Structures are given as structure tokens and as C-alpha cells.
Structure 1
Amino acid sequence: MPAPDPVPPPAPADRFNLAAHCLAAQARAHGDKVALLLVGEGDEVERWTYGQMDAAVRRLAAGLLTLGLPPGARVLIRSGNDAGFVIAFLATIAAGLVAQPASSQLTVEEVLSLVEDSGAVAVILGADHLHERPALSHLTVLAPDDVRRLCETPPLAAYAATAPDDPAYLVYTSGTTSRPKGVLHAQRALLGRRPMYADWLGLGAEDVLLHAGAVNWTYTLGVGLLDPWACGATSILYNGPRDPAVWPRLIARWRATLFAAVPSVYRQMLKACDLTTFDLSSLRHGVAAGEALPFRLVEDWHAATGTWIYESLGMSEISTFISCRPGEPIRPGSPGRPQRGRRVAVLPVEAGETPLPVGETGLLAVHRSDPALMLGYWNRPEEEAAVMRGDWFVGGDLAACDADGWLWFHGRNDDVMNALGYRVSPLEVEKALADCPGIAEVAVAETRVREDVSVITAFVVRAPDSDLTDDRVLAHCSGHLAAYKAPRRVLFVDRVERTANGKVARKATARRNAPFPA
């Protein structure tokens, strides 16, 4: 075996590189420790030590710099749930470029829209996306063979000498507009995640964390990869067929100590598996984010496994900042308390920077001094101004705090929907449906189909003489939207409710046509 590439020395105190923080110190201290276990179908395992991952990242980073890309250039990463994505993401940041991860579920049409918005100059394509190369030919396209060639470059002697406030990665999220908006995060974003290690994850160097999501999703990228590596722990990702029974089997096989997923995964496991038949003795607890966690599900999980699930609440703009703390009692109905070190407040809905008294409902806000807070929205100064209120970032979540500091969530102040942990704009879905033949009007809203399950629903008014069916509506969506954005339910209605000034009243349309029994 060839000698490992030398690990670069620590950066000066006024420099911070997110990729270096994840890898360089760990490679120096324990380069032979397993950083990543990537498990595939049939329990095929790909192992990466910290030393191997550090060397691969610095080699690809050096190769990217041979392309002559300007500092801060956006590099879109269009790959699967594999080590290639991980290396590409961190190598881009290690080179001083801006990584732009893209979900593998997006259509080519959606990817082109993101490229146009971000001004990305290069794209790293995984093997499953090579057929998209012609559509992206106006960019520098790096296929797997190109990446392998770049990885033959001698490694960078040091990670890019970025400052904490320099941009590191750009993620797109659905907001209140018809097109996703870019959320630009700084190198310091990883430092801003530290309060969650004790106050949500309960994460340390000896942990083995299994995440049920795909790594190109920010929940998995952060909790399943960056957080364990920042602590020197081991991460497990899975890229085989999705079967609820695979998760308890992987926990037992690899002695996972922590498990992270969206609540629906826990629900599927309880429904599909007899968890008592698996050896889950290594598991300390589970964590959940992305959608509301019903306490009944927590109780059912505890009865089956003897462990608890700890919930958190966050946003793409800042990640999680409200959570339940491991080892402390859970308060049913609350996602938790502000993590220690965070400055969180509930502000009046309309205006003002003075926090509301205990018990009053307003908009949940985080102080701009939080290092995890985004640098801003990409080329959206007007939307950025709309969410900043003095020294506070104000999201769209309605909440109240009790006298003990527990947060009580009261829904969204806008129409943004939650689909299996992904934020989805109804405007984006309505825009995709607007040119579907046979649709005269459409409104899209999130509706409950069970007490603890909500789905995206399209309320469709047929055009005169149209025989449009729900199957044709869904087929149209599949060609224009990622699967997680597409409606799961289509209801044909005689009209779409509107406000006094003519705007679509989505919630009123849903209440009229799809009421949930009290």
C-alpha cells in the first residue's frame, strides 16, 4: 500500500474551512479510524477511513483548481447517495469553491432552472445522470471518468485559506415564491451546529451514527455526515433498496449508537417490523427532524425498543435550533427548547423587535449573531430584507414559549408545505400544473389524511368539456417536478376559493373540500 498523503498543518486562527474542520484534524489524530461505512444491497460495504477521505478530498480539490475556475464559482453536484457525492461536496469547499448539492430526484428541467439561477459554471455528474450531459453542455461537465482523472492530481498541501464568513455551499429550498431560492451558507455554518451535539444528537467521538436519508439532502448531509465527522465519530449511510426492515438490521449489524430519520421512517419500521426480533442493544436513542413527531409515535417506539426519539425544529436557513435533549424528559406536543448558546425569540407577527411575553403566539426568530445563520438568499435582496427584522432573522413559523422555555409550534404563517421533511412551495407545484391540458384552475395545499400524516393535495377545476383524470394530472407532474414535490392526492372541485383581492385561498379551499374529521 502506498504511503498516505501528508496531512496539512492547522490553519491560522483567522481562517476556517468547513471541509478541513471535518477531516484534517481527524486525519492527523486518528487517520486509520473509519469515518464512513457506505452499505449497499446485500450488505456490500465500502469503508473510508479519515486518512483516506482526507487524501481523496484534497486530491480532487487540487484537480478542480487545474480547471481554472474562479474563486467562489458554484459547482453543482448531481450525484447519487454515494462516496462520490461526499468527496465532490467537500473537495469543492476545500478548493475555495462553492458547492451546490442537488437532489437526485430533481428533473433535468428543475436542474437547469437551478443552474440558471445560481450561475453555476461546472457540474459533477454521477453515473446515473450521464444521460443529462447534453442538456448541461454549456457548463464544464465532469463525468466519473473526468473525476477519476482529476483525482490523480497531487493533493493540496493545505485546504483553501477561507475566512469564517466566506461562502461554502449553496442549497435551494422552496419558499413562498414559484421558484426555489438559494440559501448561501458560510464556512462557519459548521461551527454554528455545535449546540446541537449535546442538546439534540448527544453526539461524541465514540458514536456510530446511522442516517436513513440520502446524502444529497441537507438533513442527511449535516446530521449524517458533517456532524459525526466534526466530532470524530463514524457515519453509516445506506444506498440499497429502501425497505423499512433494513434500518433495524443495519443498527444491529453495525452496532449503531444513534439513528436519524424523519418520523415517517420510524412509523414505517413499527408497522412493517417486529423490532423485538432485532438486537438493538447498541442504540442509545433516535433523533427526528423534517416533520412533526407525534408523541404517540415516540411512545410506540419506546415500548418496542426501550429507547426514545428526540425531536428538533429547524430551517434551511439555520438548520436545527430547537430540540429535545437526550436524557431529559420529553414534553408531549413540544419539539423542545432552544439549544444552549442560541438566541431565540418570539416576535410580533406584523412588526417589532421586542420579544413577546411567555404564552403569546408570534413568529419564531433567531438572532443574526448565530454562526449557523445563512449569509443570505442568492440574488434575492428583497426576500432577504423581508426576513430580517433588525438583528433578528424571522422565519414563517408561528410559535409560543412557556415559562419553562419549551416551544409550542402553531403552524406556518405562510402556505409552505412539508412533504416528508422537504419544504415545498405550493406556487411551484401550481406553476407546474398550470400548463397541464384540461386544467382550468388549480390550488395546492397540504392536507391531513390521518391524524399524523399529511400529503400534498391538488385541488383541480377541470376546463369545460375536459375528461381529465387524476392519473393524467399525476403523470404531468412526474415530468416537471421531483417526486417529493408532486401531489399524492388529486381532488376535482367546482371552484378554487379566493380572497377578497382575488388571490388563491389555499387553506380555505382545503377546508371546504378536504376537511379532516375532528
Structure 2
Amino acid sequence: MEAIFDDGAPAPCPAPFNMAAHVLAHADALPDKIALAVLSPTRSDRWSYAKLKSAVLGTATGLKQAGFKPGDILLMRLGNTVEFPIAYLAAIAAGMVPVPTSSMLTAPEVAKMVAQLSPAGILRDQDVACPDDTGLPVIGTDDLLKMRDLPPSEYDMGDPDRLAYIIYTSGTSGNPRAVCHAHRAIWARRMMHQGWYGLGPDDRLLHAGAFNWTFTLGTGLMDPWSVGATALIPAKDVPIEALPLLLKRHDATIFAAAPGVYRKLLNHHDTLDLPKLRHGLAAGEKLSEALRRRWAEATGGKQIFEAYGMSECSTFISASPASPATGGSLGQPQQGRRIAILGPDGPVARGEEGVIAIDRRDPGLMLGYYGAEDETRARFQGDWFLTGDHGVMREDGQIDYAGRGDDMMNAGGYRVSPLEVETALHHCPGIREIGVTDVEIKPDTYIIVAFYTSDAPLDEAALNGFAQDNLARYKQPRAWVRLDHLPTNPNGKLSRKALKSLFPG
């Protein structure tokens, strides 16, 4: 039997369509319900659906009055505040194309994005790194706050296949890719509501991530709002160890986080009293069975449901309350998805390893990489989009993860290209050659390590300083190892796999 999952296509996206209109569709029926609560141990900032919709559509009006028009690209350099999702939805509501970016990026990293995208403007918090010499119109946070009170804009309705937003992901070539998504991407996420979350309008979903992380934007905000549920987000200065208090105090029913957050929580708490919590959600990196068991023991048997996906198609393989994973699998393809495990000549047999692939007609699949048609085409094999990760489809349709098919690293849920890090660090004074990989320093804990050659030992503080100036925090090496020479394969290319065994820790 071929390793193909195909139980039929999902319902087509309606037209005309606007992603922001879909996300806020429940606002008129639930004006007084709390859509968002930003939580701290001492207070919470609550947003009703009516207040949220008013702020979004007022900001959309303000962006139009600032001279931006449908189709304009707006680079978002905003911090971990509620202004981030408001501006994001406002731009989409007005037909503009927001580009949410991590506040951890450095000015040189952002400059590359500006050069690639040629945005019409930048939405900027002055405390977030951004080049000052772009010559582009800049809308500051004070201006965005004033826009909230403007009259509401009409939604820019149109073809669900038109461009809605762009997100960046690290590329195997070393250059971050600009991934273009259509308005229909939010419609496709409905397959995740029961295929992963078990999400309904009465849920209170607490996401541990920052507002300006795409995992938080989707799972923590857009999806709960799409069904009329309540999103709970910790304030930016809340430590991880305080999350159990917030989960209990605010009656969270679902908890979403990267596996590393679960790990840190359990390092601080042997037991967790969370009476209203039904289950947890995890994505961003593989969840180990040991961590899954520790969470169940600490919470009195509550489960974590894992999902597999990527920036190009969000999550499409998952476990769920209705269909738990068995034997350490990722889960199974969500209803409405068409998934295959491919070899060089097409689908392999069930039980055989191959590349995880998704049908090119999936409504959640990207439109393509911005300005990179050849690179986009290279990701397809016939009707299939190749994820680059390997898996095995069991006879019952569950999928076992078999590892990455490339050298991509995982840093706290972020996929990071070693080539991107190596390219940035190659210019560090004193370094002759450099190779970067992730190393497991203890069970389930990985760090990025830089291995380099130099004529003389280099000061680690200087190395760290150079990395801080040129790379986002999550891309920076946490350890440096000087070698006499870097290991290579028979073809003379750097062997990153061989680097791992050279880490002295």
C-alpha cells in the first residue's frame, strides 16, 4: 500500500474573502466577550471582541490615511505588545501585506529584508532594531495608538488566492526565505481546530510565546479568535516559572508552547495543579517521549498533542484529543490534507522511509518564495511540495518522524540555517574558517555551537559581541570551539555531522 493519505479535500474557501474579516467574524455576535487577555501575576489587560475589532479597523483606516494602499508591503518591526497583532490584522483588513518579524533580529538582518522586499513603509517601535537609513515612511507606535480611535475601515474583500502576508524562515541556502501566503491560509487552518487543538468557542487558550512570533500569531491568536474563543498571552516580562500560576488563575483550558517551555516549566515545578486545563499543544521541534511522560506525571495525566508543520504550510500532521498519537508518532495527517512519503520515483510503500510531502493544491500551502521562482519550483516533485524532513507512514496512517533531510538547526522552536550563521560569522575578525551545528548538551536540550579555525586563540567575549551585533539572539552560538582544522567529507565539503562529536562538553 502506497504511503499516501487522501480522505478528500476540505471545503473550498469562500469568495470574496479577507483573512482579517474571517478572524474577526464573531466580533459582532460576541461584542462583550473577552477576546484577549494579556496576563501578569498582578494584573491583566483585557480586550473585548468589540474593542479588538474597533482597534483593528481604526488602524486600517489610519494606514490608508498614511498613504498606503492595497498590495503595499509593510515591514513590521514591533515589540512583544498587543500593538503587533492589531497592526498585523489592520494591514490585512485594508488589503496591505504585513511582514511580521522577530524583534530579536539585528539591524543588518533587517536591512537585507528591506533590500529584498522594497516595502512601502515600516511599522516600528523605536526600541526594536531597524536600520535608520532606509528612506522609507515609518509609522511609530504612538501613531499606531492614535489610529485605533479612527472610524472603522471597510474590509478589502477579494480573491482568496491573493497575497495576504509574508513571513521569513531560514533557508538551506543560507539566505532567509520570504514565504508568501494567501488570504485562504487562515481558512485552511480550520483543519487544525479539531485535527490538533480540539478547539471550541468556550476555550481559553494560553500561548507561552511572544506576540511577534508566528507560532503565537497563528495558534495563540488568529485561531482562537476565528472560533470566538479567548486568547491568553503572558505579558512580555513574565518569567516561564510563573506560567502555572497564570494557567490556573485564568482558567486556561488549552496550553500551547514549544517543547523547550514545557522542559523549563518542569525544571521549576515537580507537580502542576491545573484543574481547568484539558491538554497541551506543542510544535516547533520534536517532542521527546520522556518530556511527554514527565508532563503527564506532573499534571495528573494531562496529555500534550504534538504537531508537525513549517512556515510554508503551518501544521498539517498532528495528534489531537480525538486521535491521539501512538508509539511516539507525530500523529496523522489532518482531515482534508493530502500527504505522501516520497522516494526519488514517487510515493514509497507504507512502512518505508522517505521525504514528507504535501499536495501542491493544499489551501494552506504558500504561494511561493518572494522573488525566487526557481527556488520555489525546486521544492516540488510533481504534485508534491517537499518538506525536506523524513518520515515513515504506518499502515494506520500515523507518521513517524525520521529526522531532517538537511543540516537545519532548531533553536527553541526556530528553524535556523547553519549557512546563514556561518555567513554572518565568517566576517568576524580573526576567524579563518567556521562551521556551525546544533549539539545536544543534555537530554532534549540543544544549543548552537560554532567551531572555527584561527591563527591564535580568540577572545570569547569578542566573538559573542560580534554575534550579538549581526545575528538575532536565537541564531547566536552559545559555545565556541577552536579547532586546528574543520572536518570534511571525501568531497572536501564541511561535515557538520562530524562537528557534533568534537564538542568537548
> One fold, TM greater than 0.5?
yes
Deviation at 1:71, TM superposition (A): 2.4
Q: Who is 2:298 aligned against?
A: 304
1:41-80 matches, cutoff 5 A: 42-80=41-79
Once the two structures are overlaid, the 10-residue window that deviates more, 435-444 or 327-336, is: 327-336
Q: 1:446 aligns to what SS in structure 2?
A: strand
Q: State the TM-score, normalized to the length of structure 1.
A: 0.92
From 463, 466, 484, the equivalent of 1:476 is 466
Structure 2 CA distance for aligned equivalents of residues 62 and 241 of structure 1: 31
Deviation at 1:118, TM superposition (A): 1.4
Structure 2 CA distance for aligned equivalents of residues 186 and 96 of structure 1: 11
Per-residue Cα deviation, 1:8-41 (whole angstroms, up to 9, x for no partner): xxxx952111101011x2112111111000124x
From 410, 415, 426, the equivalent of 1:434 is 426
Partners of 2:255 and 2:279 within 8 A in 1: yes
Mapped pair 1:508 → 2:498: yes
Structure 2 CA distance for aligned equivalents of residues 378 and 75 of structure 1: 14
Mapped pair 1:148 → 2:145: yes
From 369, 374, 378, the equivalent of 2:366 is 374
Mapped pair 1:119 → 2:118: yes
Structure 2 CA distance for aligned equivalents of residues 392 and 327 of structure 1: 28
1:91-102 matches, cutoff 5 A: 91-102=90-101
Q: State the TM-score, normalized to the length of structure 2.
A: 0.94
From 236, 247, 252, the equivalent of 2:243 is 247
From 185, 190, 193, the equivalent of 2:181 is 185
Q: 1:72 aligns to what SS in structure 2?
A: coil
Q: Who is 2:36 aligned against?
A: 36
1:14-413 matches, cutoff 5 A: 14-23=15-24, 25-40=25-40, 42-129=41-128, 132=130, 134-136=132-134, 138-156=135-153, 158-276=154-272, 278=273, 280-306=274-300, 307-348=302-343, 351-352=344-345, 354-413=346-405
CA separation of 1:364 and 1:133: change in aligned 2, threshold 3 A: closer
Amino acid at match of 2:404: R
Structure 2 CA distance for aligned equivalents of residues 236 and 247 of structure 1: 11
Q: 1:479 aligns to what SS in structure 2?
A: helix
CA separation of 1:47 and 1:102: change in aligned 2, threshold 3 A: same
Per-residue Cα deviation, 1:177-209 (whole angstroms, up to 9, x for no partner): 122110001000011111111121110000000
Structure 1 CA distance for aligned equivalents of residues 370 and 409 of structure 2: 22
Amino acid at match of 1:38: V
Deviation at 1:244, TM superposition (A): 2.6
Partners of 2:351 and 2:393 within 8 A in 1: yes
Amino acid at match of 1:319: S
Q: 2:434 aligns to what SS in structure 1?
A: strand
Amino acid at match of 2:342: L
May I ask how many residue pairs the two structures share in their alignment? Answer: 492
Q: 1:26 aligns to what SS in structure 2?
A: coil
Structure 2 CA distance for aligned equivalents of residues 145 and 328 of structure 1: 47
Once the two structures are overlaid, the 10-residue window that deviates more, 216-225 or 237-246, is: 237-246
Structure 2 unaligned residues grouped into runs of 5+:
1-12
Q: 1:478 aligns to what SS in structure 2?
A: helix
Q: Who is 1:443 aligned against?
A: 435
Q: 1:43 aligns to what SS in structure 2?
A: coil
Structure 2 CA distance for aligned equivalents of residues 473 and 242 of structure 1: 30
Q: Who is 2:10 aligned against?
A: none
Deviation at 1:317, TM superposition (A): 0.3
Q: 1:502 aligns to what SS in structure 2?
A: coil
Amino acid at match of 1:49: S
Q: 2:470 aligns to what SS in structure 1?
A: coil
From 482, 493, 515, the equivalent of 2:483 is 493
Structure 2 CA distance for aligned equivalents of residues 85 and 17 of structure 1: 19
Partners of 2:356 and 2:387 within 8 A in 1: yes
Indicate the structure with greater helix content: 1
Deviation at 1:327, TM superposition (A): 4.7
CA separation of 1:448 and 1:274: change in aligned 2, threshold 3 A: closer
Q: 2:29 aligns to what SS in structure 1?
A: helix
Structure 1 CA distance for aligned equivalents of residues 498 and 267 of structure 2: 33
Structure 1 CA distance for aligned equivalents of residues 320 and 96 of structure 2: 35
Cα RMSD of the aligned pairs, angstroms, is 1.7
Partners of 1:133 and 1:141 within 8 A in 2: no
Structure 1 CA distance for aligned equivalents of residues 124 and 159 of structure 2: 29
Q: Who is 2:7 aligned against?
A: none
Once the two structures are overlaid, the 10-residue window that deviates more, 25-34 or 495-504, is: 495-504
Per-residue Cα deviation, 1:385-443 (whole angstroms, up to 9, x for no partner): 11011211111101111111111111111111111110101011001111111211110
Q: 1:468 aligns to what SS in structure 2?
A: coil
Q: Which has the higher contact order (CA 8 A, sep 6+)?
A: 2
Structure 2 CA distance for aligned equivalents of residues 108 and 311 of structure 1: 34
Deviation at 1:175, TM superposition (A): 1.2
Q: 1:340 aligns to what SS in structure 2?
A: coil
Partners of 1:189 and 1:372 within 8 A in 2: yes
Structure 1 CA distance for aligned equivalents of residues 270 and 375 of structure 2: 48
Amino acid at match of 1:57: V
Partners of 2:14 and 2:160 within 8 A in 1: no
Amino acid at match of 2:503: A
How many percent identity over aligned positions? 44
Amino acid at match of 1:65: K
Q: Who is 1:8 aligned against?
A: none
